[in-house]
């Protein structure tokens, strides 16, 4: 039985009606992802998947690009730690997703949203990663500590050359739920954000559509062999 960890409830809903999977969304970030992963492990899952959106660090990763990470890079105070997904599971899922032309690149773990072009460039230079998210490092660490295989399946929502509008920080609560009214209040206070927000919204809708296609092609077993 596979456990799926997401940072957003809308990501988790992509897996509705897919059995025998277990899906847990505890909110964005490493602490919440750890809670979700530990809960799934306690329920007896035999593999973990970090699933959802990612930010692009490489120009080649356009919005809607499927990323199957071949390494998770976790920055530390004295360098970085690398975690590697299960190779044969990765290969099987890559085959199932061939129609979506998935890219195999390293993903960097971050404690916060990487919102500016400069921050993306620095993270890419420091880690060599192609994309970034806030949950995969914690999921990978929990899986390794429990002796379980893991995968990271992400879809790029925002490209490397984009600075995110400040309203992004008002869009999600601690449980990973989107709140459109919070965003509208932030946009009303700073209307100059509207163009950037609309670009992000368009690309996010596209990314979520691709996520749903990923789920359909991956199947209820997500290409896992116990």
Q: Tell me: the pLDDT tens digits for 47-89?
A: 999 999 999 999 999 999 999 999 999 988 888 999 999 999 9
Nearest-5° angle of CA 200, CA 203, CA 205?
105
From the candidate CATH numbers 3.30.565.10, 3.40.50.80, 3.40.50.1580, 3.40.395.10, the one assigned to the domain spanning 2-218: 3.40.50.1580
Residue 72 near residue 152 (C-beta atoms within 8 A): yes
Is the model's pLDDT at 169 over the cut of 90? no
What does residue 52 show for φ and ψ, rounded to 5 degrees?
150, -155
Dist. CA 209–CA 156, nearest whole Å = 12
Using omega within 30 degrees of 0 as the cis cutoff, is the peptide bond preceding 20 cis? yes
Residue where the block lists tokens 């230079």:
125
Q: How far is residue 141's CA from residue 81's CA, in Å, rounded to a whole number?
A: 10
Q: What is the pLDDT of residue 104?
A: 98
Using the structure block, give the residue that is written with the tokens 């998935």.
102
Q: What is the pTM of this model?
A: 0.93
For residues 94 and 128, what is the distance between their CA atoms, to the nearest angstrom?
A: 21
How far CA 159 is from CA of 11, 138, 209, in Å, comes to: 19, 23, 17
What average pLDDT is seen over the chain? 93
Give the pLDDT confidence of 91-147 residue by residue, as tens digits: 999 999 999 999 999 999 998 999 999 999 999 999 999 999 999 999 999 999 999
Q: Which residue has the tokens 């990271």?
A: 152
Residue 220 has pLDDT above 90, yes or no: no
Q: Which of 135, 131, 125 is nearest to 105 (CA)?
A: 131
Q: Which helix (H) or strand (E) holds 1?
A: none
Q: Quick check: 19 pLDDT over 70?
A: no
Task: Write down the domain spans for the chain.
Answer: 2-218
């Amino acid at each position: 039985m596979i456990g799926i960890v997401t940072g957003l409830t809308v990501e988790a809903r992509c897996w509705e009606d897919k059995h025998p999977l277990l899906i847990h969304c505890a909110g964005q970030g490493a602490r919440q992802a750890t809670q979700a992963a530990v809960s799934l492990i306690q329920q007896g899952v035999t593999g973990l998947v970090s699933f959802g959106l990612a930010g692009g660090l490489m120009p080649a990763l356009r919005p809607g690009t499927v990323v199957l990470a071949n390494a998770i890079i976790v920055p530390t105070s004295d360098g970085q730690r690398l975690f590697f997904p299960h190779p044969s599971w990765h290969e099987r899922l890559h085959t199932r997703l061939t129609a979506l032309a998935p890219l195999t690149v390293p993903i960097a773990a971050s404690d916060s949203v990487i919102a500016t072009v400069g921050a993306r460039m620095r993270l890419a230079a420091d880690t060599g990663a192609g994309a970034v998210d806030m949950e995969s490092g914690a999921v990978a660490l929990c899986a390794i500590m429990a002796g379980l295989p893991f995968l990271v399946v992400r879809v790029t929502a925002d490209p490397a050359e984009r600075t995110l509008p400040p309203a992004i920080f008002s869009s999600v609560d601690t449980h990973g739920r989107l709140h459109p009214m919070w965003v509208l209040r932030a946009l009303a206070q700073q209307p100059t954000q509207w163009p950037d927000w609309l670009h992000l919204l368009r690309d996010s809708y596209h990314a979520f559509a691709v996520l749903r296609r990923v789920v359909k092609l991956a199947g209820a077993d997500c290409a896992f062999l116990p």
